[in-house]
């Protein structure tokens, strides 16, 4: 789905794109929420429907991987 030129995906679609389980995607989204990056990356259509900006999620996962490698 495109919204204002940005590419968005559901949790199921993100799981397919990144090769993660849906629970892992949810955990990463919760980490994004704790870091204050959730609101700019997620559109909540309903209480259980979320559309996530793919590029912002990709950057977050990459940043998290770098932090894990450095031991932060």
Tokens of 7: 């590419």
Tokens of 13: 């679609």
Contacts of 27 (CB under 8 A, 6+ apart): none
Task: Find out whether 9 and 2 touch, Cβ atoms under 8 Å.
Answer: no
Quick one: pLDDT at residue 72? 58
Domains in the chain, ordered, with CATH?
2-70 (1.10.10)
- What does the pLDDT look like over 10-61, one tens digit per residue? 999 999 999 999 999 999 999 999 988 888 899 888 877 889 999 999 999 9
DSSP type of residue 37: -
Contacts of 1 (CB under 8 A, 6+ apart): 7, 8, 9, 51
């Amino acid at each position: 789905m495109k919204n204002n030129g940005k590419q968005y995906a559901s949790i199921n679609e993100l799981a397919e794109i990144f090769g993660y389980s849906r629970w892992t995607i949810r955990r990463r989204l919760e980490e994004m929420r704790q870091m204050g990056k959730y609101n700019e990356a997620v559109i909540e259509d309903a209480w259980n429907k979320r559309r996530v900006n793919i590029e912002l999620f990709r950057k977050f996962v990459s940043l998290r991987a770098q932090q894990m490698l450095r031991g932060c």
